[in-house]
Amino acid sequence: MYIVAIAWLFITLMMAITEKSAVAGVLTFVFYGLAPCALLLWLMGTPHRRRSRAKAATAAQPSVGHEQAEQGDRTHTESDQQDLKQ
C-alpha cells in the first residue's frame, strides 16, 4: 500500500515541477498529490486503528473469568445447600 502512495507522490511531484509558476506547482502537489494521498492512507488505516483500539481496550480490562466463575458457583451452592437442608 505504501509503495502506491510513494509512487503517486512521485508522479505528482514531477507534475508540480513542470508547472509554470511556483505557486501553481505547490498547489498542484498539495491538492492533487498530498491531500488525496493522506486521505487514502487515513481511510485504508482505519481497520488497523480499530483493531488496535479494541486490543488495547481488552488488555486494559482485568481478567474476571475466575472471579465470575467463583461467584457463580457460590450462588448455586448456597441454593443447593438450602435445598438439601429442607
pLDDT, averaged per 10 consecutive residues of the chain (86 residues), comes to: 91 95 95 94 88 84 58 59 65
Predicted model pTM: 0.58
pLDDT at position 21: 95
Dmax (CA) of the chain:
97
pLDDT at position 55: 86
Note whether 82 and 74 are within 8 A (CB). Answer: no
Residue 6 half-sphere exposure toward CB, CA atoms < 13 A = 3
> Rounded CA gap, 67 and 30, in Å?
56
CB within 8 A of 26, min separation 6: which ones? Answer: 16
pLDDT at position 1: 75
